[in-house]
């Protein structure tokens, strides 16, 4: 299996020595979720600097990373990525969207993303699984993932089916037609990186959001489970 990582942002330079960049985070969490004897190949695309696959079939699946940008910003590279998403959807090619990627897929395919009325979501956030799916192996009824976002999906695409939701984020994860899987949370983050981001944004977040977010880091997270779900979903979509 070859997964193309569509990188739409970079970890801040002062954090890269300790945490690496976003593609490295995804490679680590997905590789750790492989079954014994399985292998996976990755290819990185620097979308911010104009790099996109020349053909849809360059990789078996694609994954859009998180970003500090908003999906409604006017950016040349973003317009190119939107066109590529439409191509992938038309070809029913496997696509994974995480945080910004989740919001962008919704925005492009008929939904809407905007600044969330509840404000920033940071730290560990729980989402209830609404219906068990075959690719949810191992199954958990509630998914805890690290979060870092101020935008949310406000309206779903017509074909989207929500599989994870919470009061704070009603559209926490959705699928489209068996080939698109998206999540608002970050399975690639580690808690120390989440803490570093919150420390950096403490004034922006406000003391209550900051303190609640840091306190939430004591909760367990399910990044390994979700990584398995992503790989299972891709395998199912490739059949």
Domain holding 186: CATH number? 3.40.50.880
In eight-state DSSP terms, residue 228 is H
Residue 99 is a catalytic residue? yes
Amino acid 145: pLDDT = 98
Backbone angles phi, psi at 135, to 5 degrees: -80, -5
Q: Report the distance separating Cα 169 and Cα 152, nearest Å.
A: 7
The single residue of 99, 107, 179, 222 carrying the catalytic annotation is 99
* pLDDT score for 61: 98
Single out the catalytic residue among 93, 102, 179, 186.
186
> What is the average per-residue pLDDT within 34-53?
95
Domain total in the chain: 1
188 catalytic per annotation: yes
pLDDT band at 199 (very low <50, low <70, confident <90, very high): very high
- In terms of pLDDT, which residue wins out, 97 or 37? 97
Residue 195 burial by Cβ neighbours in a 10 Å radius (0-12, 13-18, 19+) = middle
pLDDT tens sequence across 44-57: 999 999 999 999 99
Q: Which of 48, 149, 188, 223 is catalytic?
A: 188
Tell me the pLDDT band of 90, cut-offs 50, 70 and 90: very high
Residue 239 has pLDDT above 90, yes or no: no
pLDDT at position 35, please?
86
The pair of three-digit structure tokens given for residue 228, joined into one six-digit string: 């398995």
- Domain holding 78, by residue range, is 2-238
Residue 93 has pLDDT above 90, yes or no: yes
pLDDT tens-digit readout, 144-169: 999 999 999 999 999 999 999 999 99
59 is catalytic: no
Q: What is the pLDDT of residues 220-229, one digit of tens each?
A: 999 999 999 9
Mean pLDDT of the chain: 97
Sheet strand arrangement including 173-176: 41-46, 2-7, 61-64, 95-98, 180-183, 173-176, 160-165, 121-129, 142-149
């Amino acid at each position: 299996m070859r997964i193309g990582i569509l990188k739409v942002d970079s970890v801040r330079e002062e954090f890269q020595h300790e945490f690496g960049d976003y593609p490295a985070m995804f490679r680590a969490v997905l590789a750790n979720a492989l079954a014994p004897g399985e292998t996976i190949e990755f290819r990185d695309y620097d979308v911010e600097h104009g790099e996109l696959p020349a053909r849809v079939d360059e990789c078996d699946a694609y994954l859009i990373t998180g970003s500090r940008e908003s999906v409604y910003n006017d950016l040349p590279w973003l317009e190119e990525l939107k066109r590529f998403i439409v191509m992938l959807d038309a070809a029913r090619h496997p696509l994974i969207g995480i945080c910004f990627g989740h919001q962008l897929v919704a925005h492009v395919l008929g939904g809407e993303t905007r600044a969330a009325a509840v404000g920033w979501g940071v730290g560990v956030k729980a989402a209830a699984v609404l219906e068990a799916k075959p690719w949810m192996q191992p199954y958990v009824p509630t998914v805890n993932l690290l979060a870092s976002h101020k935008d949310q999906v406000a309206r779903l695409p017509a074909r989207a089916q929500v599989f994870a939701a919470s009061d704070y984020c009603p559209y926490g994860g959705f699928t489209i037609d068996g080939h698109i899987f998206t999540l608002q949370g970050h399975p690639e983050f580690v808690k120390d990186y989440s803490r570093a981001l919150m420390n950096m944004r403490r004034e922006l977040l406000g003391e209550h959001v900051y303190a609640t977010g840091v306190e939430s880091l004591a909760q367990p997270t399910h990044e390994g489970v979700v990584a398995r779900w992503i790989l299972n979903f891709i395998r199912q979509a490739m059949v």
